[in-house]
């Protein structure tokens, strides 16, 4: 007797997830090279460099947390607005300080929101997607791309 999953490979599962679950279009960008402004004599941030734009999904990673900060005490840079980015395995690995935004989504309230990458995307031996932990930058309840 055969089962429906017999012969199912990790690649097939990954392709299925990309087609059926990762239906948003996400963009990962990082700060561009600084540009010298001769008027001010200062280097200014250059335009962001897009390292990925394609299939993805943003999912909450639990409820908002509460972080207690004690004066003078070290603490982990904990996010109060935790999310995770799911991308296909062939998408580039995001790095700390990269920015993630939603370019297109079924939910109009998601479009235009941005997040900062908290750590390099995870990997594992049996991965079918890449998971990257995020902290939301935009805290607006308006939809339609306003932030």
Class of domain 24-33+44-136: mainly beta
Q: What is the pTM of this model?
A: 0.74
Q: What is the pLDDT of residues 94-105, one digit of tens each?
A: 999 899 999 999
pLDDT level of residue 115 (50, 70, 90 thresholds):
very high
Q: What is the pLDDT of residue 146?
A: 43
pLDDT at 117 > cutoff 60: yes
Gap between the Cα atoms of 22 and 54, Å rounded: 9
Q: What is the pLDDT of residues 37-82, one digit of tens each?
A: 999 999 998 999 999 999 999 998 865 555 556 666 655 555 567 8
């Amino acid at each position: 007797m055969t089962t429906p999953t017999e012969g199912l490979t990790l690649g097939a599962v990954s392709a299925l997830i990309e087609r059926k679950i990762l239906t948003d279009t996400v963009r990962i960008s990082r700060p561009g090279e600084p540009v010298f402004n001769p008027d001010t004599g200062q280097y200014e941030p250059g335009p962001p460099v897009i390292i990925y734009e394609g299939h993805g999904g943003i999912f909450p990673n639990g409820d908002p947390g509460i972080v207690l900060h004690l004066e003078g005490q070290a603490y982990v840079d904990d996010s109060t607005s935790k999310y995770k980015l799911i991308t296909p395995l062939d998408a580039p690995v995001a790095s700390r300080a990269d920015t993630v935004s939603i370019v297109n989504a079924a939910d109009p309230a998601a479009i235009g929101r941005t997040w900062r990458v908290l750590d390099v995307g995870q990997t594992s031996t049996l991965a079918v997607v890449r998971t990257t932990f995020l902290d939301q930058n935009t805290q607006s309840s308006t939809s339609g791309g306003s932030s």
